[in-house]
Amino acid sequence: MSVTMTRAEGVTVFTLSSDPQSVCPPLCQILKGLCYSPTCCSVSQHLRRVQGSSQSVLGAMHIMVGLLNIGLGVILLCSGVGPWWEIAYTGFPFWLGGLFILFGIMSIVSEKRPSPCLAIINVILNLAGVAFAIAAIALYSINLSNMWLWWSCERDNYDYGYYRHTTAASSPGEEYMKEKCFEGQELVLMLLRSMNAVLIVLSVLELCLVISSAVLGIKSLCGSEKGEKKETGDPELCSPLLKEVTNK
């Protein structure tokens, strides 16, 4: 499939010639032709100037957030904190972290090779990343509200509402060890809750990053189109208004 593009004042016309022998449907042929079009895949120097180095900075922060999601998610999974099955079965810290890393890589690639096609893909991925970042905030908030430790220190007295089960008195040494056990349990639970809170903060940061990257990509594309219009404008508009007259 070949793609040709014709521009007029305020109008852009794409002419697509399909391949009748191809097994791909026409829509796939159109997308393939647009992706392999020199107009879309060629590096735009004006887009490079407009975009600057902001996408690389945002991409590095995307990757950092993704790696922290995976690392802290492994700690929460191995700690046996409840409800651990939500992390074990769904694995949301890992695939969310992988998606955040993908967003970061795409942001860096779109800056290193600033073609319109890559810039558009980067904007689409970051717009989808807004939904994933909001989902991450919701999932980590649910996990924080339902967090507890499965292991206990086996108190002598267990109070279930109005029913109390009492066992034989323990020695002072056992009471001291149980008290230290409960202190350690509270400390571990506080650390795990802090990790979960850090993940919520990182998800909020990721939400800001995807919004910033998408807005920056849209501004770069709009600025690139305006720059191309100025560069390919009417040459008569660029002619000097005053001409030098020589006296003979």
Q: pLDDT-derived band of residue 150, with 50, 70 and 90 as boundaries?
A: low
Q: Is the pLDDT of residue 25 over 60?
A: yes
Closest CA to 72 of 89, 90, 57, 87: 87
Between these two residues, 64 and 3, which has the higher pLDDT value? 64
pLDDT digits (tens, 9 = 90+) for 186-237: 888 888 889 999 999 999 999 999 999 999 888 887 875 555 555 544 444 4
| Residue 61: per-residue pLDDT | 95
| Residue 227: per-residue pLDDT | 52
| Residue 32: per-residue pLDDT | 61
| Residue 137: per-residue pLDDT | 95
Type and span of the H or E element at 118:
helix 116-145
Closest CA to 228 of 42, 59, 15: 42
Domain boundaries, the chain: 47-154+171-228
Distance CA 202, CA 68 (A): 8
DSSP character at residue 161? T
Angle at 30 between CA 27 and CA 32, to 5 degrees: 110
Q: Is the pLDDT of residue 145 over 90?
A: no
pLDDT digits (tens, 9 = 90+) for 186-200: 888 888 889 999 999
Looking at the chain, the whole-number percentage of residues with pLDDT higher than 70 is 58
Q: Of 27-36, 149-158, 183-192, 206-215, give the range with the top mean pLDDT.
A: 206-215
pTM attached to this predicted model: 0.69
Between these two residues, 186 and 5, which has the higher pLDDT value? 186
Closest CA to 200 of 95, 96, 83: 96
Average pLDDT of span 81-109: 85
Between these two residues, 95 and 187, which has the higher pLDDT value? 95
Q: What SS3 state is found at 248?
A: coil
Between these two residues, 229 and 175, which has the higher pLDDT value? 175
Type and span of the H or E element at 12:
strand 11-17
Type and span of the H or E element at 184:
helix 172-231
Distance CA 114, CA 221 (A): 10
| Residue 89: per-residue pLDDT | 81
- Residues in the chain, overall count: 248
- Sequence-separated (6 or more) residues with CB below 8 Å from residue 146: 82, 83
